[in-house]
Amino acid sequence: MLVSLRDVCSIAEQNNMAIAAVNSASLEAIRAAVEVAEETGYPIIIQHAEGHEDLIPLKYVAPIVTSLAERSSAQICINLDHCEHLAYAQRALDEGFTGVMFDGSYLPYEQNVEYSYRAHQMCQEYGAGLECELGSMGSREGGESDEGGTAAEAGAIYTDPDQAGEFIRDTGLDILACSFGTVHGIYKGEPHLNYDVLREIRKRVHNVPLVMHGGSGVSDEDYHKAIDAGIRKVNYYTYGVKYAGEAACKMADEKRAAKSDAIVYWHDFTPVAYESFRNTFEHIVRVFANGSKPLNVH
């Protein structure tokens, strides 16, 4: 069942939980996400990032994810992640995406508001939800680098709670991605999340759902604290592909250790990656449920 970003985050709000948002950079990840949602009974958000166009172009991934979501018994949102160009957002909406995350956090505040509002107008025409970002996680979305470190090392700028309410009013967004100590990429040390900032933002935005970017690598305990403070969507990518890569490398090493001249074929990697994604996604979906019961009715 294909649902909008606005509706799936409303479900999370009603149940004091967060929805896992996983990226669709491979068929193995897409398949795992759909099957985990169906088997656990919890909604899921499958995302395509504009920055992953070179990994899997939008024109190929869109028909796959939208078709699978429409046929699924689970509640699935198809969201465009970290979109920096409105023309790219238009393409995604035309392809059936039910959500757009417009990222103007790198722009001056006035321009961020202007472009975010234009994204809002576009989403309105399609009945899609809009996510925007205020503040900065410092390092850019990508998932391959280890430049994340701590929020301070990455040059992160916490979201200003007072500015957040104004930003929501002027842009018309449905959910707000905010910065409170997470970063994109691999953490070099233990993440230090500022829950005071998060709670202050929540107060000033009148319970608008909040989003955690840089969600990979955070402890289960910190996830629960963040959800209780108002996080309703958690972006999870880097560590998922890291674990899948490690599993694939381990398989290849073991095969060669057993037989020195063993040939490792590409198709040897895909089931290993799929199983890794399945395990990772099932874990985070259940953690983000925050004790709520499964929601899908089969």
Count of domains observed in the chain: 1
Q: Is residue 295 part of a domain?
A: no
Q: Is residue 37 part of a domain?
A: yes
Catalytic site positions: 81
Determine the structural domain holding residue 225 and report its residue range.
Answer: 5-288
Beta strands in the chain (DSSP E): 19-23, 44-49, 76-83, 99-102, 129-134, 175-178, 210-212, 231-236
Q: Is residue 293 part of a domain?
A: no
User: What pLDDT is stored for residue 140 in this prediction?
Assistant: 53
Q: Is residue 298 part of a domain?
A: no
Instruction: State pLDDT tens for residues 86-122.
Output: 999 999 999 999 999 999 999 999 999 999 999 999 9
Q: What is the CATH number of the domain that holds 49?
A: 3.20.20.70
| Whether the Cβ atoms of residue 31 and residue 274 lie closer than 8 Å to each other | yes
Q: Is residue 196 part of a domain?
A: yes
User: What pLDDT is stored for residue 186 in this prediction?
Assistant: 64
User: What pLDDT is stored for residue 295 in this prediction?
Assistant: 84
pTM (predicted TM-score):
0.92
| Whether the Cβ atoms of residue 132 and residue 84 lie closer than 8 Å to each other | no
Residue stretches of the chain with pLDDT short of 70: 137-156, 186-190, 297-298
Instruction: State pLDDT tens for residues 251-273.
Output: 999 999 999 999 999 999 999 99
| Whether the Cβ atoms of residue 141 and residue 154 lie closer than 8 Å to each other | no
As a whole number of angstroms, the longest Cα–Cα distance in the chain is 64
